Structures are given as C-alpha cells and as structure tokens.
C-alpha cells in the first residue's frame, strides 16, 4: 500500500493504536540518536524488511531501541519514534514496581555501577518514611524506599536505590560515599529533582477563592 504507513504500536507489554497520528517529533524534541525523555538516552532505530505495519520500542540499558518497518521514510521515522518515546515515558511514570522487581532492579544497578559489590538481602517499599526518600540498615542488608517516590521518573528511583546501595559499602556521607555515586551519570540531575520536590512542598498554600 502506498502513502504514509500507519503502524500498530507495541511498547514492551503495552499494545495500542494511535488514533490521531500521535505526537510530532518536534513536540518530543527527538532527533536522530538522542531521546528527549530524561535522562538523555541514546535512541537506536532498527529497520526490518519483515516488519510491515508494527512499531515497537523498549529500554535496553541506557538506550531506547525502536523497531520500525524498513520502508518508512525518515519523516515517518522521526514522527513514530517521537510517539514511542512519549508512550514509553507515560507507561513508566504510571507503573509501580513491586518489591520483587525493586530487588531485581537494585541487583542490576549494583552490578552496573558498583561491580556487584553491594548485595542487599531485602529491598522493599515502605509507607512510614515521610521525611526521607530511603533508608538502609547495613548490618541487616536491608533497603527501604519511601512510597513517596513511586511514580517519580525512573532515573530518580534508580538514584535513590544507588544511594542506599552505596551505604552497604560506605556507612556515612563522606568523600568515599560520594565518589561511589559519581559512577552514576544522573546523580546531580536526580538530586536536583528531589530538591525541587522538597522546595515545592514548602511553598505556602494558596487559599481557595471564595464565591462572592
């Protein structure tokens, strides 16, 4: 069939069809090789002659892989990559990791950034931490993350996990501790995000307008 390809889209376990053509590449800020969603992930587009009408995307480490039909034009590629980046980001922001998944994520992060040296015995969400984002008990090998970070960007959750994993190796917040976290390239970005959340919570509440 000639003309624009209107693919069915699949992203990880989520499948859906665009109704109005999706979001333009200009709106997402996508350009070849770079993703607009935080943190700045590399985007790898893979074309397949066997793929006819489907587009799919998934995260692979620090990159996003988008699979498209080989006959797509460059303009169509940019358009649908932009759609997939938006959809993946929206999916991840709504998805809450369970304790088991959180533990698996911690293991992967430890392996990637700490050479697997930080080995927690348990990693779980808790609802009784309202003044801290996470906590760690090195003697028990336990890590607890506040439910308040559920729904925050994944790079923020990863930073909090790495922060607590680092405490399994270095108890305090001295130079050795921060040197460990320097291996994570989004440390400053995540800290800035969390500081922004705290600052927003301290803003005075605007009283609701009363009817005259």
Residues 18, 83: contact at Cβ < 8 Å? yes
- Check residue 64 and give its pLDDT: 87
Residues 130, 148: contact at Cβ < 8 Å? yes
pLDDT tens series, the chain, 212 aa? 334 444 444 434 233 333 333 333 333 334 444 444 444 568 899 998 888 888 888 887 678 888 999 988 998 898 888 888 877 776 765 566 788 889 999 999 999 999 999 999 999 999 998 889 999 999 999 999 999 988 788 889 999 999 999 999 998 899 999 999 999 999 998 999 899 888 888 776 555 444 43
Sheet holding 8-11, edge to edge: 14-16, 8-11, 54-60, 63-69, 42-48
Q: Is the dihedral of CA 44, 49, 51, 54 positive or negative?
A: positive
- Check residue 12 and give its pLDDT: 40
> What global pTM score does this model have?
0.56
């Amino acid at each position: 069939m000639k003309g624009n390809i209107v693919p069915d889209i699949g992203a990880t376990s989520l499948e859906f069809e665009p109704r109005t053509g999706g979001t333009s590449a200009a709106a997402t800020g996508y350009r070849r090789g770079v993703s607009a969603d935080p943190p700045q992930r590399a985007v790898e587009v893979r074309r397949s002659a066997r793929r006819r009408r489907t587009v799919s995307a998934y995260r692979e480490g620090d990159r996003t892989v988008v699979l498209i039909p080989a006959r797509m034009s460059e303009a169509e590629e940019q358009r649908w990559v932009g759609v997939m980046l938006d959809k993946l980001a929206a999916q991840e922001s709504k998805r809450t990791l369970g304790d088991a998944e959180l533990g698996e994520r911690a293991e992967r992060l430890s392996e990637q950034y700490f050479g697997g040296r930080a080995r927690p015995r348990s990693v779980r969400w808790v609802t009784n931490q309202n003044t801290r984002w996470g906590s760690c008990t090195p003697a028990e090998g336990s890590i607890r993350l506040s439910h308040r970070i559920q729904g925050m960007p994944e790079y923020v959750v990863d930073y909090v996990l790495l922060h607590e994993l680092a405490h399994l190796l270095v108890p305090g917040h001295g130079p050795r501790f921060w040197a460990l976290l320097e291996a994570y390239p989004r440390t400053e970005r995540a800290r800035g995000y969390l500081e922004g959340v705290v600052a927003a919570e301290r803003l005075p509440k605007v009283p609701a307008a009363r009817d005259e």
